[in-house]
A and B are shown apart, each in its own frame.
Chain A
């Protein structure tokens, strides 16, 4: 019996990369492996995927009905029953994890720690506070309750496929029950051909300087050539140039691509905290004093409206993308 439970998250019926990252964090807590709970629609397929991942001791599978779309008020009570068997429960720090996990912590009188970046020992963790300006080491008191953790996605590698036999699956997740007083109306999903921002290897991000939604589309050609996801600063989202789910930063997504290209973004601390785990940061800005150049590995000073098309051509010349 494992001491750690990871709550799986699905997107379009596939396990998210965040789920695999949570498994890596779980392995740092207990190398013996973690149980993986899979709730809801298409759970069978997700469970098949999950049992082949490294670090999974068992998959706990639930009924298919009643968990979709995921609501914190429905998920938390079921997870609270599962949590009783574990010392720690983990979920990626996605929008769902941020919504469900504190509610779960309340139901199990657990000790909640947000966005775990490092595991020092099974009760001691590091995380970032003050928009990434400070790294804090915290310890859950030994006598305090079970741990409820969200996992900082930019800090952990995704667990890979396992070597040996697939992990066993048990079907013992209880049915959702009760009137949650919450009705799901719908999801206005922002459809894009670009890869998912959170897991993409390359990201091209635009700021206020783009000036309009039409201009923002200028970045798509560049992103397409690079096979990159699109991102945005808060200013670009607030102004309606880009949808909300592209916001990168303290209050948006915290990402760690191999390559991040900031176009017309000043580099405010709230933005930078979302990208500082990127392997290489590149920036295009017309102001040589822009703070983004203090952290960028490669910078190019100039007008984005001439540089972006020139960059596409330069990539073509260099044989990058198509």
Chain B
């Protein structure tokens, strides 16, 4: 089995992101970045499939982004991916563009499983996985919190949905997107970082996989409306009185 894991470099979740004074983007100077947390979970799942004894010939991680995305690909290699591919572009794209590129890539590499994040924590778009599955014409299981490979080679996936947990079985190849509770990713170890330097990381222009102009323009980045700090009350009765006063009891 070949597993493809698309990963995105994002601003770390602990950073309080701020908009730039010119409203054309967010402040990135000196800001900590890393693998999108959901992509770390997707990669971890790929590693666990192999470690559970399923024959996995290759775990390929791919990122569409600027040269700086090499950093997250190196991390992914250190975590245990076999090889990495940077589809380089100066202008990071929206999910439609990324999915188009990934579609061309699966045509070429023919993975049996694409394991990716359910959402990127920067654009919070929650699109790329299902877009790719649609373009590819293959089954999808999104927001997966449990994954099992069945004896006949199909997948059984449990999804987190609005009213509980839904279980599907899908034929391969398929696209699976990882939710938070699928697993807890391992940490990178120093010797693995050294060893990962030997692993192949190829760079190809993303345009070669069909990245073109986006259909969406970003007009303005603004701070969201802020809530103001309220009052502290001394006890339960005052708490109830304050809520009554605000008309919600």
Report chain A residues within 8 Å CB of B161.
Answer: 95-96, 187, 245
Contact with A130, one of B121, B165, B169, B227 (Cβ below 8 angstroms)? B121
Contact with A314, one of B125, B131, B239 (Cβ below 8 angstroms)? B239
Report chain A residues within 8 Å CB of B164.
Answer: 187-190, 243-245
The answer to whether A181 and B138 touch across the interface, beta carbons within 8 angstroms, is: yes
Q: Looking at the complex, which of A23-31, A139-147, A213-221 is the stretch in contact with chain B?
A: A139-147
Give per-residue flags for A124-152: 1 if the beta carbon is below 8 A from chain B beta carbons, else 0.
10001111111111111100110000000
Contact with B165, one of A111, A188, A234 (Cβ below 8 angstroms)? A188
Q: 8 Å CB contacts to B: which residues of A243-264?
A: 243-245, 250-251, 253, 258-259
Report chain A residues within 8 Å CB of B118.
Answer: 251
Contact with A244, one of B96, B128, B181 (Cβ below 8 angstroms)? B181
Q: Looking at the complex, which of A38-46, A55-63, A83-91, A273-281 is the stretch in contact with chain B?
A: A273-281
Task: Tell me whether A269 and B16 are in contact in the complex, defined as CB-CB below 8 angstroms, given that A182-B169, A237-B181, A245-B162 are known contacts.
Answer: yes
Q: A interface, how many residues as a size bin?
A: 35 or more
Report chain B residues within 8 Å CB of A298.
Answer: 230-231, 233, 239, 242-243, 246
A101 vs B125: C-alpha distance when bound (angstroms):
12
Q: Is the interface of B mostly helix, strand, loop or mixed?
A: mixed
Task: Tell me whether A111 and B96 are in contact in the complex, defined as CB-CB below 8 angstroms, given that A130-B17, A298-B239 are known contacts.
Answer: yes
Residues of A within 8 A of B (CB): 11, 69, 71-73, 76, 94-96, 98-107, 111-115, 124, 128-141, 144-145, 180-190, 198, 202, 226, 234, 237-238, 243-245, 250-251, 253, 258-259, 269-270, 276, 279-282, 288, 293-301, 307, 310-311, 313-315, 317-318, 320
Interface Cβ pair total, 8 Å cutoff: 263
A-B contact pairs, 28 of them (CB 8 A): A73-B139, A99-B142, A100-B130, A103-B140, A106-B130, A114-B127, A129-B122, A129-B123, A131-B17, A133-B17, A137-B218, A138-B216, A138-B219, A184-B167, A185-B168, A185-B169, A187-B165, A250-B124, A276-B224, A276-B227, A280-B246, A296-B230, A298-B239, A300-B234, A300-B236, A310-B236, A313-B236, A318-B240
